Amino acid sequence: MPNKAEHTRWIKEEAKRLGFSFVGVSRAEHMDEEARRLEGWLNKGMHGKMDYLARNFDKRTDPRKLVPGARSVISLMYNYYTDKEQGGPDAPKISKYAYGKDYHFILKDKLKSLYLFIQEKIGQVEGRVFVDSAPVLERDWARRSGLGWMGKNTMLIHPRAGSYFFLAEVILGLDLEYDNPIKDYCGTCRRCIDACPTDAISPQGYILDGSKCISYFTIELKEAIPDEYQGQFENWMFGCDICQEVCPWNRFSQPHSEPEFEPPPALLKMGRQEWEELTEEVFRELFRKSAVKRTKYQGLKRNIAFLKKGRHEKE
């Protein structure tokens, strides 16, 4: 009879075959420490207008509420790093994760294939797959699974590959071999703290005020961006990669090999004027299957106008 070690090995090998860079496993249990930290963060209002983060607290901190009978949480990392850049130093910028096709669709398909493999290879096992679309503390599970440590910028950092990764999970009603957390290697470095133009990262690190993050303003916030942040976005119109760009661990980042994440050539060529004159028709064509659709045409136009106003005020 196959044992836990063999089941774990089969699952990790299949995940790698499907393109996931790293896979780790942790025990499905209530997250005591993480629950206390999340509660404190919410009580301070650091989630801003992201009310969904305050909902389903019990499910967010106990995977057994999401999958009754859950025994294991499989955490997976999928590389999205690219060395391709948008054209022109003055072109409004998009976070690298949104260059290509929306990762939710790509990774969900791969996770479904992995879950099907588990059913066929091991037998009928209760489980669910997740890609950033349910109350799952994905970075905490990845940390528990030994896939990296939580950096001062609150990103998960892998010691050999950096932080440009999507995280995903399979929660299973199956006992597996569990991995152990690894050491924190941020040390005395504070590059991410010093580089954040909106001071979203606490002075000591490890706490991110989501209500001050450029990604929050340009993606999550549906109302007008507060004027007090005028001129502080450093030309980011969708998301922000600053705290990753300055992180020394990202010198180990390697370009991804996922064709679906390749940016449309037109996206890389567009300069500042073309973005400022963006039409809804071009927006729909450019971001037909992209995560940028989340902000909608009017949202992106709002962000571009905010950058333009900030630039004029500086001049």
Active site residue ranges: 132
Name the amino acid, one letter, at 315: E
Best CA proximity match to 299, nearest among 280, 313, 286: 280
Give the CA distances from residue 3 to residues 23, 25, 28, 148, 171, in Å, rounded to whole numbers and listed in that order. Answer: 19, 15, 18, 27, 19
CB 139 within 8 A of CB 41: no
Q: How far is Cα 240 from Cα 288, in angstroms, rounded to an integer?
A: 21
Give the CA distances from residue 267 to residues 37, 47, 135, 211, 287, in Å, rounded to whole numbers and listed in that order. Answer: 39, 31, 32, 28, 9
Q: How far is Cα 177 from Cα 263, in angstroms, rounded to an integer?
A: 38
